Amino acid sequence: MSQSVARPSSRPERLLILGSCLTVLLIVTVVTALLIREHANTLQAAKRTANNITQLIDADVLRNVELYDMAVKGLIAATERTDLQGVSASIRHLVLFDRSAAAPYKGDILLLDAQGEVMADSSLLVPTTGNFADRDYFQVHRQHPDAGLYISRPFVARCICDDQWRIAFSRRVSAADGRFQGVAVASMRLSYFHQLFSSLNIGSNSTINLINHQGILLAQQPLLEADMVDKNLSQRPNVARMLRERDGSFQSMSSVDGQARLYSFSNVGNLPLIVVVALSSDEIFAPWRRAAWLVSIATGVLCVGLLWLTWMLCMELRRRRRAERVLSELAGTDALTGLANRRTLDERLRLEWDRAQRSTEPLTLLMIDVDHFKAFNDRHGHHGGDEALRTVAQVIASNIRRPADLAARYGGEEFAVVLPHTDAKGARVIAEHIRSSVEHLPRVDGAKEPITVSIGLSTWDKRSRMSLEALLLSADQALYEAKHQGRNRIVDSATL
């Protein structure tokens, strides 16, 4: 048998898979968007924290620099007094340095003359002889009358009793006519910044830095390298950006240890100092990464579970479709011969008829009847008769090769063959093959004559005016005529 059975549509399955994939995509998109937003929120919170730290440091540093500036200004003001010439050395010393006691981590406060020699020392009534003309703060004030408050590069005191790093705050001492008369300078131990920075908990792999406007590192906690203090960092990309912008924040890789950090920096008031808080990106985003992993795993399990359930449901739909297809085939198949039954024949014949009307292609119907079957059935019994019908059905099916062709059991010992796109000449060739093949079947034991069939043929083409009912009737009449003419032959209704 060559017969086409329409497969149930897989559109519901495709829609189910598409819907599940879109759902998974939507879930992943939403979760990704939430994680991105949370990442941005984490970064903003870190920026706020870093900015708060820089503001605290700015305020503390600015307050202490003001104390040192007050001490320097007080020293300059005291040198301008004319009433100190006749007082004792102790009183004169007390007046000169009365504003320096409040300055924390202070080193020596000195008054230098125009040659850099020490004129007064806050730590001694009689100053030790020394010359500081080579110091950067002395050179700046001698060359620039309007330098104002100058903050020096880090240096180590010349006395062997103290090897701590210091910076100096200095101002120019000028005569009434503007001539350079010397420098008033107050030094501060950089351990002040160490204590200040250490009091702030910024986590590991993070640093707090203080640089001046030339890119010189004044303080760093903790020190990333042993010789970082007084090092010129202005050529490093991160520092160059800070010197250029003076205030802001950005993420970048450290050129010292290669660690990713969030840099927040701010200029200390109007001073030539910049505070830099560099927070480790690993620490900033560690909680976010843990949450992202948990959410990603949960989302992955959910999506995989959804896709697995979709796959299982698709498998169930496929099993159901296969079962429905089998039931449909059974409902449309003759149980004895395996050919299409009468109901399937009626449906397909109507379908091909409508198609032929649209395409104007010819349509041929063969009506086939087993000759003398009642006598054969009486002689060989029902079992033999059923076996003969199955054999004839196999012969008919073997000669129907095109997918659109249909062989069916019409009823009893009668069969029908629908041949779309086949004219009378082509249909007669097929009918002859069927007739000849049946005639040459092996004889049943005890049978004197071979099994034969009579075939009636009717064709509709675009010149015909017959209806479907007329096509059936003419094929049946042709079959009747074939039997009337002696059986085992083919009669075309066109010859009647």
pLDDT at 2: 41
Mean pLDDT over 97-121 rounds to: 75
Please say if the pLDDT value at position 3 is more than 50. no
List the single range of 3-12, 81-90, 157-166, 339-348 with lowest mean pLDDT: 3-12
Distance, in Å, from the CA atom of 430 to the CA atom of 424, rounded to the nearest integer, reads 10
CB atoms within 10 A of CB 348: 20
Q: What is the pLDDT of residues 122-155, one digit of tens each?
A: 777 677 788 999 999 999 999 999 989 999 999 8
What pLDDT score was predicted for residue 95? Answer: 52
Confidence of residue 465 (pLDDT cuts 50, 70, 90): confident
Kindly tell me if the per-residue pLDDT of 198 is higher than 90: no
Cis amide bond preceding 450, omega within 30: no
User: Which is more confidently placed, 86 or 231?
Assistant: 231
How far is CA 256 from each of CA 115, 165, 216, 284, 285, rounded to the nearest angstrom?
41, 22, 15, 19, 21
DSSP single-letter state for residue 202: -
Phi then psi dihedrals of residue 151, to 5 deg: -110, 120
Distance in angstroms (rounded) separating the CA atoms of residues 424 and 461: 9
Burial call 222-240: b when 16+ CB within 10 Å, e when fewer: eeeeeeebeeebeeeebbe
Percent of the chain with pLDDT over 70: 91
Q: Are 183 and 138 in contact (CB under 8 A)?
A: yes
pLDDT, residue 276, reads: 94
- What pLDDT was estimated at residue 6? 40
Mean pLDDT in residue range 63-72 = 88
CB atoms within 10 A of CB 35: 16
pLDDT at 10 over 90: no
Domains of the chain: 342-495 (3.30.70.270)
Per-residue confidence (pLDDT) for residue 4, from 0 to 100: 41
Least Cα distance to 168 among 224, 130, 112, 126 occurs for 112
Residues contacting 310, CB < 8 A, separation 6+: 16, 17, 20
Residue with tokens 């949450």: 291
| Per-residue confidence (pLDDT) for residue 1, from 0 to 100 | 40
User: Would you state the pLDDT for residue 222?
Assistant: 84
d(Cα 135, Cα 154) in Å, to the nearest integer?
11
Q: How many CB atoms sit inside 10 A of residue 293's CB?
A: 10
- Neighbouring residues of 470: CB distance < 8 A, sequence distance ≥ 6: none
Per the CB < 8 A criterion, the answer to whether 449 and 370 are in contact is no
Q: What integer is the mean pLDDT of 266-292? A: 93
Instruction: For residues 16 and 30, give the distance between their C-alpha atoms in angstroms, rounded to a whole number.
Output: 21
Residue 160 has pLDDT above 60, yes or no: no
Please, what is the average pLDDT of the chain? 87
Given a cut of 70, is residue 166 above it in pLDDT?
yes
The proportion of the chain whose per-residue pLDDT surpasses 90, expressed as a percent, equals 59
Q: Which of 80-89, 154-163, 206-215, 329-338 has the highest mean pLDDT?
A: 206-215
Return d(Cα 200, Cα 198) in angstroms, integer: 5
Rounded to whole angstroms, the Cα distance separating 224 from 135 reads 27
pLDDT digits 0-9 by tens, 69-94: 888 888 888 887 765 565 545 655 55
pLDDT tens profile 402-423 = 889 999 999 999 999 999 999 9
Residue 100 has a pLDDT of 53
List 408's β-bridge partners, or say none.
Answer: 340, 416
- Give the pLDDT of residue 217: 93
Rounded to whole angstroms, how far apart are CA atoms 254 and 56?
Answer: 24
Report the length, in residues, of the chain: 496
In this prediction the pTM is 0.61
At 180, is the secondary structure helix, strand, or coil?
strand
User: Strand 490-492 and strand 453-460: pairing?
Assistant: parallel
Statement: residue 99 has pLDDT above 90: no
The Cβ of residue 135 has, within 10 Å, a number of other Cβ atoms equal to: 19
Amino acid at 90: S
d(CA 433, CA 115) in angstroms, rounded, equals 133
Alpha carbons within 13 A on the beta-carbon side of 234: 10
Q: Which of 285, 276, 282 is nearest to 238 (CA)?
A: 276
180 versus 120: which is more confidently predicted? 180
| Distinct helix (H) and strand (E) counts, the chain | 10, 16
Is the four-CA dihedral 165, 171, 172, 173 of positive or negative sign? negative
Q: Rounded mean pLDDT of 206-233?
A: 88
Whether 348 and 2 have beta carbons less than 8 Å apart is answered as no
Section 198-222 average pLDDT: 89
Give the mean model confidence (pLDDT) for residues 288-314. 94
pLDDT confidence bin for 273, thresholds 50/70/90: very high
Query: And the tokens for 368?
Result: 């086939």
Tokens 């009647």 belong to 496
Q: What crossing angle do the helices spanning 281-331 and 11-79 adopt, rounded to 10°?
A: 170
Half-sphere exposure of 262 (CA within 13 A, CB side): 22
**According to the model, what pLDDT value does residue 323 have?**
84
Which of the two residues, 332 and 382, has the higher pLDDT score? Answer: 382
**Of 78-92, 197-211, 470-484, the least confident:** 78-92
DSSP annotation string for 401-421: -STT-EEEEEETTEEEEEEET
